[in-house]
Structure 1
Amino acid sequence: MSGESVPPTSTSPTRARQVRTAMPEQLPPWGVLVLESHHAPDFSMQWREHPFVKLVYFLSGAGTFHLDDRPIAFSAGDVFVIAPHLRNRICDGEGTPSSLYAGCICENVLKAEPVTAARIASGKLSGGNRQTHFVASKLRRMVYTQNLASSSCGIDMMIDAWRLLRGVTDYDCHRKAGNIESMLEPIGVEQATDVGIVQQYIDELQTSFLEATTLDAAANQLNLSRRTFTQLFRELTGTTWLRRVRELGIEHAKKLLQETDLPIASVAFESGFADLSTFYRRFTSMVGQSPAAYRQQTHSNV
């Protein structure tokens, strides 16, 4: 997962490992991989083709994404889909090197969903913030699963890859039908009572918080009214849904700050925050110090 890299400068508070060339895309046996890449100011990418679908989420930066003979401008928050065997390359703008996450899904995985695979079209997604947030939440979940490296990692990554592709290809249909939330995967609702249903949701939220979107979406997933869900959630947890999701995100961020050298922008993304300023504000409010100060303190105590 390493290209030609440059060490982080001593003035960089996030200690990003920057690359000058595109990273190699070596997929594991199960055929699904998420890469994280931070470009140096002199980053240069040669044309490449790959035998898999790739979804690229730009965390920061700006420039031009060339898909064969189509140059398409990109900026932070944009998502691109690249079909297998399509020539492509990224050209960062001057002074705007990009950071990105790339989800790679091999053709063997696609064969299990031929209808979905046939609907994959290369280009920049145009579904707006809802679509971007959906892709970002799935990529976050895949990064989380990949880093756990559990015995079920391969299966879990393939399941998430199918969900991601289905959401991308079906999005316009759902949007036109006014049924965006049906793209979100329903959780199990075996419990017979509303209390049991919400308790199961709370238990699973410990690992699924990265996919939490809105309170209304959570209530809809459980087929409960917003009022019933809100009341039961507070009774069972002693706090609100939003507060609990934020707490779980901050706890995950603290773990990443303690145990990794990920750039703070990446920590924010992988903890479920859409922008860096919100992450800094929430983290400082809940922890009592900035992410950079927290990382420095925990590392100095080791």
Structure 2
Amino acid sequence: MAVFAPDGRHRVAVLVRHGLLPMELGIVHRLLGRARAARGELLYEVVTCSTAPGVVRTDADFTINVDHGPEALDEADTVIIPASHESDEAFTDGRLPDDLAAALSRIRTDARIASICTGASVLAAAGLLDGRRATTHWRYAERFQQLFPAVRLDPEVLYVDDGRILTSAGVASGTDLCLHLVRRDHGAAVANDVARRTVVPPHRDGGQAQFIRRPVPEPQVASTTLARAWALARLHEPLSLRDMATQESMSVRTFTRRFREEVGMSPGQWLTQQRVEHARHLLEDTDLSVDQVARDAGFGTAASMRQHLQAALGVSPSAYRRTFRTGVAA
């Protein structure tokens, strides 16, 4: 027996598990559950279900009471699986618990399936992501790839739309995913209205790369330490490979080899990375103009910095500043 009213609305079932992140459930109900057509009628019917009705633990200090069991999946047009770190981190062998596998088997073959954050591990363990491009939270990416090598994982993006199967990155990217679903189903105007009502951007620039700090690992025994310290104090200056090698009294060839052995990348790559990190700091914590940030970080011009930030983070300097600016006048 279907649990949805037969009013023609798109039926969405959110399959929750113990250890649920409440925000992710709330995102689906708020964005899809409140999406309206131009005449005001609701466009989606959203129902929460679990492998068995009853109390479901969250990762907060409260539980939720779920009225619907897996039968809610039988008639769902879209199934969304939020994260559960409690459950997802238990996938040590990449296999699904029997009750979860049985629940997923009830999903119609023509239904759309989406995950939020580490919920992608459920889809991967079910074999639904084999050979497909997908994403998950960047902190989980390495373990995910080890468990599910058949998945074409892209840890840089906020979400992946692979047709019937969609995956999204960390918790808040559930917002990006849901707005994308509304946009895909009903167009940009409806999605923009949902975003405006929720006071979130209808589309975020870039991907996960802009949220990841990548400090360069320092080797325990190093012979290029002085050169790196010297360069870090002069990021605003034009620096050559020969300049850096001179600080260690090495030939360029020897210095380049030692540097790569110790740091894991070429001196040029390291220098660009450090300049990107310095530019991020200046964009976040100062009111310097973009041109001045580019000069202070050693890129010379705003155009050059824009090119490097786009390559490293997937966003422009201005977009990055709008997202991460802290405590200074805009």
Whether the TM-score (by the shorter chain) exceeds 0.5 is: no
> Rg larger in 1 or in 2?
2
Higher relative contact order (CA 8 A, sep 6+): 1
Which structure carries more strand by proportion? 1
Could you say which TM-score interval applies, normalised by the shorter chain?
0.3 to 0.5
Taking structure 1 as the reference length, the TM-score comes to: 0.33
Taking structure 2 as the reference length, the TM-score comes to: 0.30
